Amino acid sequence: MKVLVTGGTGFLGRRVVAALTEHGHRAVVVSRGTDNPWNTDAVELVRSDPTRPGPWQTMLGTCDAVINLAGAPIVDPPHRWTETRKLQIRESRLETTRCIVDAFRHVETPPAVFVSASAVGYYGSRGDRKLDETAPAGDDFLARLCIEWEEAARGAADITRVTLLRTGIALGAGGGALHSMLTPFRLGVGGPWGAGTQWWSWIHVADVVGLILLALERDLPGAVNAVAPNPVTVNEFAKTLGSVLSRPAVARVPEFALRLALGEAAEAMLASQRVVPRRALDVGYAFQYPELRPALEAALHA
């Protein structure tokens, strides 16, 4: 299989491309950068801006599948959402997705499957309620972004199979939310934030990759929650991370301090999202890391 990938040089994308080659596939990575960390003929790096129309779109017609992972980081590291930053977060996702869908409509032979990233931010903050793929959307900035993002991807649904991967907090070495937490925890000044009772839906990057490969191979259209089957509260997450690092985890960051430091972006840290992977479990996907502690140990010792 030949797969076109956007966002392939990012924290998650690098692992996805490596997994594709390990499974005997070829990858065409569309990226603004020149970094090619894979060192294999199975990966072709196309230097182009995927948020803009260009010759890269014609390459989509030579591929069997498309994986869309492009998007500016949202809380990695945590920072305030200025209007400029919110525009960058939004356009990096929507414009790339729209360019891909436009290419689907104009190539002679469109790929058979389109796996497009989304996020559990789709659901908004929902307290203790368990959220499967049938739960309604929220109404904050991230929820509205995910709604638009998914609607853009569904523009290809009359042409190809579209899977929308609503990803939780991805845990892995070298990046993501975990990377920005490690310094204070290793110094012994880490701990929960906010009330700590809010739910965090996490997933090890190996399982994100596994679900993407599953979506390429199985008829799995529509939304799929890419989260581990055992979400935890922030209190439990902090306690477990501290234990894995053999450090205390009692230095709580109060909600007002987060809001003062991050403004609207604090909502991403304070939202309670108890998301469950109903569709993945229904089709028999076996999670490599269903429990948090082994997932953190694997991420930290990779």
> What pLDDT is recorded for position 34?
77
The answer to whether residue 302 is domain-embedded is no
pLDDT digits (tens, 9 = 90+) for 247-298: 999 999 999 999 999 999 999 999 999 999 999 999 999 999 999 999 999 9
The answer to whether residue 294 is domain-embedded is no
Residue 301 or 163, more confident: 163
**Mean per-residue pLDDT of the chain:** 95
Its pTM stands at 0.96
Rounded Cα gap, residues 104 and 112, in angstroms: 10
> What pLDDT is recorded for position 180?
85
166: pLDDT strictly greater than 70 = yes
Q: Is 291 exposed, middle or buried (0-12, 13-18, 19+ CB in 10 A)?
A: middle
The number of distinct structural domains making up the chain is: 1
> What pLDDT is recorded for position 75?
76
pLDDT digits (tens, 9 = 90+) for 81-111: 999 999 999 999 999 999 999 999 999 999 9
> What pLDDT is recorded for position 302?
66
The answer to whether residue 196 is domain-embedded is no
Rounded Cα gap, residues 22 and 7, in angstroms: 19
36: pLDDT strictly greater than 90 = no
The answer to whether residue 68 is domain-embedded is yes
CATH number, domain with residue 138: 3.40.50.720
Domain that holds residue 33: 2-171+202-228+275-288
The answer to whether residue 46 is domain-embedded is yes
The answer to whether residue 293 is domain-embedded is no
